[in-house]
Amino acid sequence: MAKKNQTLGEFIIENQEAFQYSSGELSRLINSIRLAAKVVNHEVNKAGLVDILGAAGETNIQGEDQQKLDVYANEKFIQTLTNREIVCGIASEENDDFITICGQKEDHNNKYVVLMDPLDGSSNIDVNVSVGTIFSVYRRVTPLGTPVTIDDFLQPGSEQVAAGYIVYGTSTMLVYTTGHGVNGFTLNPAIGTYYLSHPDMKFPEDGNIYSINEGNYAHFPQGVKDYIKYCQTEEDNRPYTSRYIGSLVSDIHRNMIKGGIYIYPKSSKSSNGKLRLLYECNPMAFIVEQAGGKASDGHQRIMDLKPTELHQRVPFFCGSKNMVEKAEEFMKKK
Ligand code: P6P
């Protein structure tokens, strides 16, 4: 049972025994993400000093080339995962193709693949709005000892063995699941330790927050327009409150704590919406479902979708179970 204020390290060791992880590799994988998140957090928190430290593409006062933060984050997560001999392949929002990791013995014997958005919402950094890292973990489906193939990455979300996000906000939190509920850890930056601050997180079945970019209203399908009007109608516990940060991790994190729905639908401008199935929607769906919420494309469960491309986009309805189901009713009508 998760104990508040337990450190992430203690939690991982305790749950490794409780959840009979095979050889502790998944624990080591989560540990490597924990380390990379601390390094990225330090850099993200300095972003406000860009005028002093130099913007991306320039050299800073130490004469070092300043990298765009999402490139920096991507490199840190790849480096940390590669050095730990745990994964055999990585797919990232920042890389067109997946990366094969053959391991120190060059034997392709590691059994996990990781898909990630290393710094989602990075355009918010310039205006000091919170951003996030999202990751998704699968067991490979091709034989050990052979290089990973695209099939190892194009698995339905229901096959995930772990998923999580780091939100670099007023405090930095790591929230993740290995299929046994959702737990949130807050970083104490002074000592670089994560503490269990949100044990056994539950998504409220109902809520009164709706998160969608209403600037695209004219381009939405009629069902989405009708649902937005439903949210705004003076009736029962409505109108709901509109809250949209423009950072997926932050919007869903807030809604998981307070109750609410996040929608990024298809539109006449983008036929499948904007969000990526493999490293944004599937991991967030795994976490949300594990906390008792729901995630669909407006019609079917996100984690049942069979991926066809690494960077494919899907419409995304995610959050409080009853709110997602109500939105799906409107989508059915039209
Ligand atoms: P829009 C950030 O770019 C992102 O991928 C998500 O984090 C966020 O929810 C969404 O796009 C915002 O998109 O079109 O509303 O600016």
pLDDT digits (tens, 9 = 90+) for 261-280: 999 999 999 999 999 999 99
Q: Is the pLDDT of residue 117 over 60?
A: yes
The answer to whether 94 is a known ligand-binding residue is: no
Specify the residue with its C-alpha closest to ligand 1, atom 15. Answer: 213
In this prediction the pTM is: 0.94
The answer to whether 171 is a known ligand-binding residue is: no
Atom of ligand 1 nearest to the CA of 249: 7
248 lines ligand 1 (CB under 6 A): yes
This model of the complex carries an ipTM of: 0.98
For the stretch 287-314, pLDDT in tens is 999 999 999 999 999 999 999 999 999 9
CB-ligand 1 contact for 274 (6 Å cutoff): yes
Which residue's structure tokens are 């991507």?
A: 74
Q: Does the beta carbon of 74 sit less than 6 angstroms from any atom of ligand 1?
A: no
Q: Is 121 touching ligand 1 by the criterion CB < 6 Å?
A: yes
Q: Is the CB of 322 under 6 A from ligand 1?
A: no
Cα 246 to ligand 1 centre (Å): 5
Least confidently predicted of 46-60, 93-107, 176-190, 314-328? 46-60
Q: With a cut of 90, say whether residue 105 has pLDDT above it.
A: no
Q: What's the pLDDT tens digit per position in 146-170?
A: 999 999 999 999 999 999 999 999 9
Domains in the chain: ranges and CATH: 8-198 (3.30.540.10), 209-333 (3.40.190.80)
- Residue 206 marked ligand-binding: no
Give the residue, 33 or 58, on which the prediction is more confident: 33
The residue to mutate among 68, 70, 93, 120, having the most atoms of ligand 1 within 8 angstroms of its beta carbon, is 120
